[in-house]
Amino acid sequence: MKDESSFFTIDHIIELENGQSIRVWETPPKNDTHKKNSTIVIAAGFARRMDHFAGLAEYLSSNGFRVIRYDSLHHVGLSSGQIDEFSMSIGKHSLLIVVGWLRAKGIQNLGIIAASLSARIAYEVINDIDASFLITAVGVVNLRDTLEKALKYDYLQLSIDELPDDLDFEGHNLGSKVFVTDCLKNEWDTLGSTFMAVQGLNIPFIAFTANDDSWVNQSDVEELIDNIDSTQCKLYSLIGSSHDLGENLVVLRNFYESVTRAAVALDKGSLDLDIEIVEPGFEDLTSTTVKERRLRNKIENELLELA
């Protein structure tokens, strides 16, 4: 289905056998651009919906990429489930479903862009999905350390019976027992488990850190890259940014520009960001953001009527 009022945003629904569904938005490359080899999959950070990345999709599509975004199961957004049932393994399951759906459509070259918590999920699956390249932004590598900094307490040290029912993460109630049980059972929590996941990575990989990130230690990301036995990895820093890449328009635009340069470079087999890109105008970015918000509201109202 294509909603003409949303310009280039195409709404897809992946129906699952258990009755759940994952909502996917596709942004085709702009007609006047040189089409790139890769299709980009954007995995949004925790408590971020796919429409939060409207600006990045506009940048990437203006530079010739087909862009795929999705809302994870049991998360905020348009897909099935409630956020109090979210776990890292559900996030992994959602990403694998979307990748499988794209493969079934015959799409071969996939570049993955993952932000914050979703980067940890991308690290877990990247060696199994045959991606063309990986880009992470303020990517979590030591989940336990990041959770302690974000929540002001190390809840993973508690027994399951001692945990509160919910953890307040940026105004969202994360189901503590579901999340913590999954973290410990499937070893999502340590820096070492992330090292193990990316061991043997042999595709081009660019990681962006933020020089004022209080949730992710840059030294951990440096150690992660040093742990990868490949010459196709590079680390860049987003100067003047905190973990919240949308804290102001200057930081946000720098994020869009930097990640787009990385995608264009990696699509050509390079790690050098000193390249020219097409930059959408402020009016185009604003218009796309508003139209996608209207599309999201329209779909939300339709889902409420069906409930």
* Residue among 52, 75, 93, 243 flagged as catalytic: 243
Looking at 56-70, 106-120, 148-162, 164-178, which range is the least confident one? Answer: 164-178
- pLDDT given at position 93: 97
The region of weakest confidence among 91-100, 213-222, 283-292 is 283-292
Q: What is the DSSP string of 27-38?
A: EPPPTTSPPPSP
| Tokens representing residue 157 in the block | 């040290």
Q: According to the model, what pLDDT value does residue 2 have?
A: 39
Mean pLDDT of 64-68: 97
pLDDT at 14: 97
Phi, psi angle pair for 169, to nearest 5°: -115, 105
Q: Taking 80 as the threshold, does the pLDDT of residue 4 lie above it? A: no
**Burial class, 261, CB count within 10 angstroms (exposed 0-12 / middle 13-18 / buried 19+):** buried
Q: Where are the alpha helices (DSSP H) in the chain?
A: 54-62, 88-104, 117-125, 143-151, 176-185, 191-198, 218-227, 249-267, 282-306
**C-alpha to C-alpha distance for 36 and 29, rounded to whole angstroms:** 8
Active site annotation includes 116: yes
User: For residue 307, what pLDDT is reported?
Assistant: 67
**What is the structure's pLDDT at 186?**
96
Q: What is the mean pLDDT of residues 82-111?
A: 96
| Domains of the chain: residue spans and CATH | 4-142+190-306 (3.40.50.1820)
Structure tokens at 215: 């949730």
The two most distant CA atoms of the chain are separated, in Å, by 58
**58 Cβ contact partners less than 8 Å away, ≥ 6 residues apart:** 27, 280, 284, 285, 288
pLDDT range class, residue 3, cuts 50, 70, 90: very low
Q: What is the pLDDT of residues 196-242, one digit of tens each?
A: 999 999 999 999 999 999 999 999 999 999 989 888 999 999 988 99
The per-residue pLDDT for range 10-46, each reduced to its tens digit, is 999 999 999 999 999 999 999 888 899 999 999 998 8
Catalytic residue selected from 6, 80, 94, 116: 116
Q: What is the pLDDT of residue 113?
A: 98
Distances (CA, A) of 122 to 63, 113, 153, 231, 237: 23, 9, 25, 20, 20
Q: If we measure between CA atoms, which residue out of 185, 183, 167 comes closest to residue 175?
A: 167
Query: What pLDDT is attached to residue 1?
Result: 39
What sign for the dihedral angle of Cα 178, 198, 222, 249? Answer: negative
Does residue 213 have an active-site annotation?
Answer: yes
Which residues are within 8 A (CB) of 113 and not within 5 positions of it... i.e. 6 or more apart?
40, 41, 42, 43, 56, 135, 136, 137, 259, 263
* The pair of three-digit structure tokens given for residue 108, joined into one six-digit string: 């071969």
In the predicted structure, residue 5 carries a pLDDT above the cut 60: no
Kindly report, residue by residue over 136-167, the tens digit of the pLDDT.
999 999 999 999 999 999 999 999 999 998 88
d(CA 127, CA 181): 25
Q: Residue 173 has what pLDDT?
A: 85
Residue 166 annotated to the active site: no
Do residues 14 and 71 make contact, with C-beta atoms less than 8 angstroms apart? Answer: no
Neighbours of 33 (CB within 10 A): 13
Point out the catalytic residue in the list 51, 182, 189, 213.
Answer: 213
